[in-house]
Structure 1
Amino acid sequence: MLAGFGPALLGAAPGGSGETVSLAGSGPGQRLDVTLVQVVDPATPADPQGPAPDASTRLLAVRFRLENTGTAVYKDSPAPAAHLLDTAGKRFSGLNSPTTAGNSFPDTVTLSPGGSAEGFVTFRLPQDATAAAVQFALNGGLADDVGQWSLP
């Protein structure tokens, strides 16, 4: 990548939910159709003994549908592949923290060509932060193609 040039932002969807973006990975045959299905804000931790937000933070859960449209097996961790941006320009990394919103992705998802999976990625952000967009990229978030969905 040349200095000053970032990854390509694809599929900047104004409404977010339901929009599908086709993303390529960095390896041959790596391609996923990624759909933002649902946003739950605030989200409640599923395990009362697990990491919970404190008085200054909250959890937000985003449900994605991943469909392997490539020719290679997709094996990756969806949580670190996702990022949330707030209106102040701060970026938050995805977590594998289960919430009552629904099933989280496992630590590693493996999809043969034509396979699909759905699950939540959780974000911890300040109480007063306004979520603006969510991003997803293959290869642990390091691929050049980055899908972005605007949040209402």
Structure 2
Amino acid sequence: MIGGSEGLCVPGGRAPAQVPRRLRLRGALAAAALLGPALVGAGPDGSGETVPLAGNEPGQRLDVTLVRVVDPASPAGPQGPQGPAPDDSTRLLAARFRLENTGTVDYNESPAAAAHLLDTAGKRFAGLNTATTAGPSFPDTVTLSPGGSAEGFVTFRIPKDAGLAAVQFALNGGLADDVGQWSLP
């Protein structure tokens, strides 16, 4: 666990030992979670859990749900600028997210840039718009008016033997102070 609970938004004010498997991280704790080993919850796949997130600008709010994780995911169609199919040393993982704009301004950004995967060795992997057979990926840019929603996959290219720790999502291209995190089995 990342040291201390200061700045940790835990529903019901529970102690860190009782932290649910999905979290919202803020400020310095969020930065530490993005840079180091960040398994801050425990338990099985956090899919189905919705985390309300705020962006860095007034009115930016998004409810984000990790719906499903497909590991490994098979490449589909042309791979484009995100690279070729995985080789003997890598695999693809696809995470399906549901996004709902609960703010007062349009959401207009790339979900792939907003998502990251953390492995058990503390390495961080950026999301990609690589198509897989798991289902439709998000387009390069998603625009949602207040009240609008969208669902799609973000793909990650990870080492074949990587252990999974967590998936994270943050507005503003993954740079917002408010970070949603779902632990993975």
Task: Work out whether the TM-score is over 0.5.
Answer: yes
Which structure has the larger Rg over C-alpha atoms?
2
2: CA distance between counterparts of 1:30 and 1:55? 41
With normalisation by structure 2, the TM-score equals 0.76
d(CA) in 2 for partners of 1:16, 1:95: 21
Matched, 1:88 2:121: yes
Correspondence for 1:113 among 142, 146, 152: 146
Distance 1:63 1:13, change over 3 A: farther
What CA distance in whole angstroms lies between the structure 2 residues aligned with 1:38 and 1:13? Answer: 17
Considering only aligned residues, what root-mean-square deviation do their CA atoms show, in Å? Answer: 1.8
The structure whose RCO (Cα within 8 Å, separation 6+) is larger is: 1
Give SS of 1:148's match: strand
Equivalent residue for 1:31?
61
The answer to whether the 8 Å contact 1:79/1:93 transfers is yes
Amino acid in the other structure paired with 1:86: D
What SS does the corresponding residue of 1:45 show, helix, strand or coil?
coil
Contact map agreement 1:56 1:127 (CA 8 A) in 2: yes
Give the partner amino acid of 1:118: E
Q: Share of identical aligned residues, percent?
A: 79
Relative to the length of structure 1, the TM-score reads: 0.91
Q: Which has the higher helix share?
A: 2
Provide the residue aligned with 1:64 in structure 2: 97
Rounded Cα–Cα distance in structure 1 between residues aligned with 2:42 and 2:57? 26
Tell me which residue corresponds to 1:40.
70
The count of residues paired between Structure 1 and Structure 2 equals: 147
- Mapped partners of 1:13, 1:107: distance in 2: 32
CA contact (8 A) 1:13 1:19 kept: no
